[in-house]
Structure 1
Amino acid sequence: MRPDISTCADTPFDLILFDLGGVLIELSGIQQMLDWSRDSLSENDLWRRWLSSPAVRDFESGRSSPDRFAREMIVEFNLSVSATRFLYAFTRWTKGLYAGADVMLKSLSERYALGILSNTNALHWHRFETEMNFLGYFDFVYPSHLTGYLKPDRETFQYVAKACGYQPGRILFLDDNTLNTDSAKSTGFNACRVSGVPDVLRQLTAMNLIG
């Protein structure tokens, strides 16, 4: 049985909640999107447009098909690529777990309750389920295309707190995007911006959650 960290007097959290891309999973699509775009975008510009994009939000909340998503993305982001090529590349943007992620998750899962809160989609989630052996480490999984809730919307964090049964102040959320961590904090979560496994380990060590 998974240890219940809520029974530990010196543990401030009941749940450690992870984003996937940029935290546990290596992504490769940012530069490709910038290369395809006919607009002059910085990486920050791209992320802000991505998080508010109607095409992305529809697809990652499960309301759109892959083909429709590709067509709408090409128009919305002014991309110089065909829909077929876009989908082929997009599916492979999730490269795999960062080095050290598997060992870290195995160790953490033996001591803490773990969860996933990720803006994702059916194409990437299928790869997580069939090609990357890590979902078994998690007690709670909240992929956006199945829940219908997207970060950084406040309703997403309210939904997670209700679904997992923990108070927001007893949840630690780790994400690589400041918009998401700020929204989590505004909902009462503890949240840290992290980038990759070494950064996660530094944060958890600083918080005395690991030795």
Structure 2
Amino acid sequence: MSDLQNAPDWSTLEHLVLDFGGVLYQIDHQATASAFAQLGATDFLEHYAHGQQSPLLDQIEVGGISEDGFLQALLAQCAPGTSMDDVRTAWSAVLIGLRPGIVPVLQDLAKHYDLVLFSNTNALHAARFERQILAQHGRAFSDAFRQIIYSHRLGYRKPDLQAYRAVSRQFNIRSLRCFFVDDTAINVRAALDAGWSAAWHDPRASSLREWLRQLGCPIWD
């Protein structure tokens, strides 16, 4: 991934656009796969893994299907006797919580850059993690961002080039002064194709703060 580790020009950087799940928030796809396996859907991870997903998930992440329609489609893959509440709970098992210490990092970054969150997500997950974050951190997390952009509201999802173009157009992101961070390589490559500066971050290897410092971010010098 060395070709996706290019640092931006920090001296001219204006917009810092961050992915959510993985970069800022801990997710566990295996937890959801295990939960659905208990409901009789044993091949869930083959169709809904991060970066490798079914058309059904694409639909829910661009607002192309209702929440009930999506849950009904998942319910049809489960064993008889499974309830909608069972499916809803299993679907949300992926959501763990914000990465430890991430809120102060975002608050520091927001003092220097136009901070924007850009996430592939769906209404079911967004409602759940927003409640969780609000209960644990108040508005400190959301207030760090000038704009929070969810794919299901935008109508496009990464890595569709139209997603980046829509974000630039609708939220006044100047591509030459933008740096995008994501933990999925294909999303980073698409951002580069869209004219953004972008880099791949592996949250398993280093914290966001440590990684940004390695790329030369000057705010903690």
Which category of TM-score, normalised to the shorter sequence, fits these structures?
A: 0.7 to 0.9
| CA spacing shift, 1:10–1:136, aligned 2, 3 Å | closer
**1:52-67 → structure 2 map (5 Å cutoff):** 53-67=54-68
Aligned to 1:22: 22
Cα pair distance change 1:40/1:92, threshold 3 Å = closer
Q: In the aligned structure 1, how far is the partner of 2:130 from the partner of 2:49?
A: 28
2: distance between equivalents of 1:123 and 1:204? 31
* TM-aligned CA distance change 1:74 to 1:169, over 3 Å: farther
Name the counterpart of 1:49.
Answer: 52
Deviations 1:23-82 (A, max 9, x none): 111112334326735349679x933432xx22112111122222321333466xx66694
What is the distance in 2 between the residues matched to 1:128 and 1:41? 21
- What CA distance in whole angstroms lies between the structure 1 residues aligned with 2:44 and 2:29? 16
Which structure 2 residues correspond to residues 128-143 of structure 1 after superposition, within 5 A?
128-132=129-133, 133=138, 134-143=141-150
SS of the aligned residue for 2:188 comes to helix
Aligned to 2:156: 149
Amino acid at match of 2:158: K
| Partner Cα distance (1:164, 1:173) in 2 | 14
> Which residue does 2:181 correspond to in 1?
174
| Matched-pair contact (CA < 8 Å) for 1:115–1:139 | yes
Q: Is the Cα contact below 8 Å between 1:117 and 1:143 reproduced in 2?
A: yes
Counterpart residue identity of residue 184, structure 1: A
The match for 1:200 among 197, 203, 208 is: 208
Q: Which residue is equivalent to 1:68?
A: 69
Structure 1 unaligned blocks of 5 or more? 1-8
RMSD value over aligned CA atoms? 2.7
Aligned length: 198
Partners of 1:93 and 1:59 in 2: CA distance: 16
> Aligned partners of 2:46, 2:199: CA distance in 1, in Å?
23
Question: For residues 49 and 204 of structure 1, what CA distance do their matches in structure 2 show?
Answer: 27
Partners of 1:18 and 1:175 within 8 A in 2? yes
CA separation in 1, counterparts of 2:51 and 2:131? Answer: 30
Q: Displacement of 1:92 after TM fit?
A: 4.1
SS in 2 for 1:179: helix
Q: 1:14 to 1:21 in 2, by over 3 A?
A: same
1:38 aligns with 2:46: no
Identical pairs, percent = 26
Per the alignment, in what secondary structure is the counterpart of residue 202 of structure 1?
helix
- Stretches of structure 2 that go unaligned for 5 or more consecutive residues are 1-8
Residue 127 to residue 183, structure 1, CA distance change in 2 (3 Å): same
Distance 1:68 1:186, change over 3 A: same
Q: What TM-score results when the alignment is normalised by the length of structure 2?
A: 0.77
Counterpart CA distance in 2 for 1:68 and 1:109 is: 38
Per-residue deviation, 1:179: 1.2
Contact 1:66/1:87 (<8 A) preserved: no
